[in-house]
Amino acid sequence: MTALIERFLRYAQIETTSSEDSDTSPSTHCQHDLAALLARELEEMGASDVIYDRTHCYVYAQVPGQGDPIGFIAHMDTSPAASGKNVRPRILKAYDGTDSLLRPEDFPELLSHLGEDLIASDGTTLLGADDKAGVAEIMELAAWYLAHPEIPHRAISICFTPDEEVGRGTQYFDPKAFRAREAYTVDGGKLGIFEYECFNAAWARVRVQGRSVHPGSAKGLMLNASSLAMEFDALLPPAERPEYTEGYEGFYMLAEITGSIEEARLQYIVRDHDRARFEERKETLRRTAAYLNEKYGQGTFTLEMGDSYHNMADVMRDHMDLIDRAYAAARAIGVTPSSEPVRGGTDGALLAEIYGIPCPNLCTGGYNFHGRFEYASIQEMEASLQILIGIAAL
């Protein structure tokens, strides 16, 4: 087993689940367990200027080299969508499609991995390849160049962030500690896919105020908040949900609904790559709330909404040399590169928007993120590491 895979398995077993319900930074204290380990390992391998932010749980480090540094970023937390506690990774040697958890009939992409060695969870938790595969690959990148100082390469800046999965990965990011003015997030999936476009993203919360009356005398009087909440959702375009969209198509996603007769709440995420259509989607939510307030009385529906991040393509247009460099590194090891839009977010979107740091996203070899069916290809992880080494090379 290679050092990269040993490293990944070690990291995957450390619980780092973030929390959307926490107002602390980091959102969960367990993320410090991995951060402290990474800081210690960076110091032991000889990285310079290692900084462990013990308050907000960021780790920074430098690998000496030539010229202005190139940055590599990955997040330490795992999604709260599935348990990340007591992760027990297992290796499927020469995957043949017969595993009871990872079945090609459920996930056709698995057919492209026949004969490869896959890492999966035991089916009770997620695996954590998102983004501990990226973390492990960056750590091995650092170890490679620190062990081979005779090989010319650019100076390398490293940052590991908390809370990316809950949208707060850059909240306390320190650009002075990071140093690099151009970087990559190592937070993608399929080998050879490089991403420099992402959604414009917003959140929306709808509160529905009902009126409870005894059902025996409710006619013309009761306002059932739960029913009204479902009416709100039914007025949004049903074909514009995540399960019916792909590529550059945007969506409305009902992330959570709770309610009773007296009060109900809906939480949405809103996404679109095109900024004009993104603004139209937010306006649709406003019009829907206004229409229902007109129908049921002002104050029945209260809408709160805010932007989360914007499409990093606006910054990347002037920095496509970063993509050219990644393409060249992939071709050098026999991988055919291509680009796809990110149907999600990365720390890179906010780094580009807030700090002006162009930050496209690189592949890691992980798949089926955020659930029990997550897996990673060992061969693709090893190739992803070679792409990182090639990007930093002179």
Q: In 3D, which of 120, 121, 125, 123 has the Cα closest to residue 83?
A: 125
CA atoms within 13 A on the CB side of 143: 17
Residues composing the chain: 394
- The one catalytic residue in 137, 164, 182, 272 is 164
Indicate the burial class of 248 (C-beta count within 10 angstroms; 0-12, 13-18, 19 or more): middle
Q: Quick check: is 77 catalytic?
A: yes
Q: In this structure, how many other beta carbons lie within 10 angstroms of the beta carbon of residue 291? A: 13
Residue 370 corresponds to which tokens in the numbers above? 């955020």
CA distance 370 to 363: 16
CA distance 258 to 203: 17
- The one catalytic residue in 77, 117, 130, 197 is 77
Number of H helices, E strands in the chain: 10, 16
H-type alpha helices, 235-312: 275-296
Cis link prior to 238 (omega < 30° from 0)?
A: no
Q: Quick check: is 318 catalytic?
A: no
CA distance 215 to 213: 6
Taken in order 215, 209, 19, 184, the sign of the CA dihedral is positive
CA distance 76 to 81: 15
Q: 95-117: buried (b, 16+ CB within 10 Å) or exposed (e) per residue?
A: beeebeebebeeeeebeebeebb
Active-site positions read 77, 164
